[in-house]
Amino acid sequence: MTTSTLSRIAPAEVHQTLGRYLLADGLDLVFDFEKSHGAWLHDAKTGREHLDFCTFFASSPIGYNHHKMKDPDFLATLHPVAQLKPTLADIYT
């Protein structure tokens, strides 16, 4: 049996860490899944919020952390798949 651990990388180190393995020339922010809300994207690196005009190329049309997306019945149905699948190659998590 193989086990793995998820190591935490500080938001300020995300771009540098990714840059070791790939061309990390995207936006200078780190997307925060929990603090982003509505049309506002929260940058974990700076703590600032940005009005999101691209919604990961329209894969998140109702915004971030919409209250109906947190409904227990909905989450039970959604559990086998992802609630949010960022597809914008210029934003890192």
Instruction: Quick: pLDDT tens for 15-38.
Output: 999 999 999 888 999 999 889 999
> Tell me: the pLDDT tens digits for 41-85?
999 999 999 999 887 776 777 788 888 888 898 888 777 666 566
Which residues is 51 bridged to in the sheet?
A: 40
Cα four-point dihedral sign 46, 51, 54, 60:
positive
Q: How far is CA 65 from CA 30, 33, 91, in A?
A: 17, 8, 17
Question: Tokens 């935490």, residue?
Answer: 8
Dist. CA 55–CA 44, nearest whole Å: 17
What tokens does 86 get? 């960022």
Name the residue among 6, 7, 45, 47 with its Cα closest to residue 26.
Answer: 45
Q: What domains are there in the chain, each with its CATH number? A: 11-78 (3.90.1150.10)
Contact 28/15 with Cβ under 8 angstroms? yes
Position 4 pLDDT exceeds 80: no
